[in-house]
Structure 1
C-alpha cells in the first residue's frame, strides 16, 4: 500500500507539472498590448454623471505609437489636442488658445491614455490588473492621486475596441473606437508639437 500511495502521489505531481499555469492578468495585459505597436482611428466619448445620466458627448481622432507616444484630438463639439511624446504631455485648447505642458514622468499615472502608450514598468508599478466576466482588463491605480478610480480596456488582437473610465467623482466615461487602422506607418515625428505663437503658455516644468 505505501508503494501504491507513493506512485499515486508521483503521478499527481506529474499531472500538476503538465498542467499549464494561467498567466497573471497583468502579464496577459502586457502581452495583449505588445500586439499593438501602432494604431490610429476615430473615437466617440460619452460622459455620465453619478446617477448614470448622459452629460456630454464628444468625438475625434487618435494616434498611438508604443511605447511612449499618443495623440488625442477632440474635434466636436469643441477643439482640443493632447499629445504625449518622449518628453512632455501637451494639452492645447484651441477654443481658449491655451497650451499646457507637463513633464511626462510626472504624468505617467495621471491619464488613462498613458496606459496605452506607456511602458511596461510604469504599468506594473502604478496599477493592479484584473479581468471581468467579459474578459476585459480592469486596472485600479495604486494611489489616490491618479485622477481616476478604475479603467476598463477591451482589446481585440491589434485593436482597441473600447475603454471605460470611472473617475474620483464616480462619473463614468465610455469611449468607443472605430475606423481603426493598425497598418499605416507612424513615426515619432507625427507626435511633435509646436505651440502656436499667439497661445497662452503654461509650463509646469519651469
Structure 2
C-alpha cells in the first residue's frame, strides 16, 4: 500500500513539474484551474438540476429537486458562477493593464479577448446545428430536439454578460471596490429585507 501511495505521489509531482515547466511566464495555472473549475461547476450544476423524462416519443426536462428536495444543499456546491466572474475580472484587468502598457489600443485588446471567449462557443453552436439538423431529418419529435438543444446551450447565457463586463473593464477598474459591495447589499436588502420580487431587485 505504501508503495502504491509513493508511486502515485511521485507521478503527481512529475506531472505538476511538467505542467509548471510548460507554463509561459505570463500564465498563472492557479487562476486557470479556478476558471476551469468554475465553468465545470456551471455546466454540471445545470445538468444536476435537470433530468430528461420520456413522455411517449417526446423527451422533456424536469428538475429532480422537485422529487428529491434533500439534494438541494448538494446543488449549492455547483454555484460557481461568481468564481468564474471573479477570475475573469482579474484576468481581464491584468490583461488590459499589460496591453495598455505595451501601447496596444483598447479596440484591439477587446477584439482579441472576445475572440478567445467566443471561439469555443462557435464550435459548440456549429456542432449543435449539425446535430439538430440530423435529428430533425431523421424524424425526431420537434419538442425532443428543442429540449436537447436547450439543455446543451442554455448554460452559455452568462457568456454574453461576461462579454459586456469585459468590454467595460477600463471603466470598472476605476470604480472603488466598495461600489460593487454596495450594489449587492442594495439588492439583498430589497429582496430579503423588504420582500421585493426577484426581477425588481436588479
- Which has a greater percent of helix? 2
Q: Give your verdict on TM over 0.5.
A: no
- TM-score normalised by the chain length of structure 2: 0.25
- Which has a greater percent of strand? 1
- TM-score normalised by the chain length of structure 1: 0.24
Structure scoring higher RCO (CA < 8 A, sep ≥ 6) equals 1
